[in-house]
């Protein structure tokens, strides 16, 4: 009789929906099942309608049993609701359980509050466990806030090795412009190539396109100084004061107008204002593109619409000519 009853229970159980099975296992103490009930109520599937309140309830059960993903997901839900203090608490517990995405998000929260040193603490933990976003944030903080370029470059390189495309672009920029490193266009080219061609980073493509535009041309500066000055200002800003000396660095890169135009167009289409501005100079001066003032204006306008003042200035100049 007991065997028959046992078999009936098994048969009954397997006729239950996946959702009801997960709830039963959660009730019996399976914390992973509690997390899964939360997850499927958060995301929904063919057997489960989205129900965020129910998701939170079951994530809470799992988080109390030290399931770090559940604590993290509660943090995400609180962050979405702009309950930043609650998000911080859940992220904190998950980070203590070595869930590195939560350490990274804690760092972001502290950065939002301008708590730089505290954000470094959390990003360092994330980076230690190869969270590439944390390593990239550390690079950015040491570059922009601390002005400690050797440290910034260490973290940018690590993040790039972990396939963070923004970090690859940033370390390329530091090699191109000599921030904490000797200027090395071959290294810049290598990192921009990884950012653009391997990781599809729109800023990396714009930077790589600029290298191809101005390679091997230090001797050409005197023939078209205005073009090089304007394109340099769009791409490199403050580094264009001693233009002829600055551009000698680019003699190590083979010029390729077709590739430059292709990459800059892609980057501009992906809303990188600087690339739109450089394209404007190409069309205005007929360097790497057929001279066309109308198309130059279009590209300067794109740069302007994306918030780049120099694009607005160049557009106004052409319209007043």
The whole-number pLDDT of residue 14 equals 54
Residues in the chain: 321
Which residues, including other chains, have CB under 8 Å from residue 91's CB and lie 6 or more apart? Answer: 71, 72, 75, 102, 103, 105, 106, 109
Q: Which residues of the chain have pLDDT under 70?
A: 1-17, 216-223, 236-248
The whole-number pLDDT of residue 303 equals 96
The whole-number pLDDT of residue 259 equals 92
What does the alpha-carbon distance between residue 72 and residue 68 come to, in Å, rounded to a whole number?
6
The whole-number pLDDT of residue 223 equals 67
The whole-number pLDDT of residue 275 equals 94
Cβ pair 100, 129 in contact under 8 A: yes
DSSP string covering 145-196, please?
IS--HHHHHHHHHHHHHTT-HHHHHHHHHHHHHTSSS---HHHHHHHHHIII
The whole-number pLDDT of residue 243 equals 62
The whole-number pLDDT of residue 103 equals 97
């Amino acid at each position: 009789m007991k065997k028959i009853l046992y078999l009936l229970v098994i048969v009954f159980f397997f006729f239950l929906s996946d959702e009801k099975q997960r709830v039963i296992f959660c009730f019996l103490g399976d914390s992973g099942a509690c997390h899964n009930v939360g997850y499927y109520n958060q995301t929904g599937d063919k057997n489960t309608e989205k129900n965020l309140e129910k998701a939170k309830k079951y994530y809470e059960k799992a988080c109390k049993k030290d399931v770090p993903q559940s604590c993290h997901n509660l943090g995400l839900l609180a962050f979405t609701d702009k309950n930043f203090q609650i998000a911080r608490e859940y992220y904190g517990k998950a980070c203590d359980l070595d869930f590195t995405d939560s350490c990274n998000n804690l760092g972001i929260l502290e950065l939002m509050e301008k708590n730089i040193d505290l954000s470094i603490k959390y990003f360092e933990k994330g980076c230690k466990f190869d969270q590439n976003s944390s390593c990239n944030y550390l690079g950015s903080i040491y570059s922009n806030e601390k002005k400690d370029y050797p440290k910034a470059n260490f973290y940018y390189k690590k993040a790039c090795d972990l396939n963070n495309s923004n970090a690859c672009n940033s370390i390329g920029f530091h090699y191109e412009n000599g921030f904490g490193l000797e200027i090395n266009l071959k290294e810049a080219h290598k990192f921009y190539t990884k950012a653009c061609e391997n990781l599809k980073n729109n800023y990396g493509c714009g930077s790589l396109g600029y290298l191809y535009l101005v390679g091997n041309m230090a001797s050409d500066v005197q023939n078209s100084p205005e073009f090089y000055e304007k394109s340099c200002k769009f791409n490199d800003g403050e580094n264009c004061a001693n233009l002829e000396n600055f551009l000698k660095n680019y003699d190590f890169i083979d010029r390729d107008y077709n590739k430059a135009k292709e990459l800059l167009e892609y980057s501009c289409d992906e809303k990188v204002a600087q690339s739109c501005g450089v394209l404007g100079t190409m069309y205005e001066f007929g360097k790497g593109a057929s001279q066309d003032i109308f198309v130059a204006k279009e590209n300067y306008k794109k740069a302007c619409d994306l918030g780049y003042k120099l694009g607005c200035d160049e557009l106004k100049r052409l319209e007043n000519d």
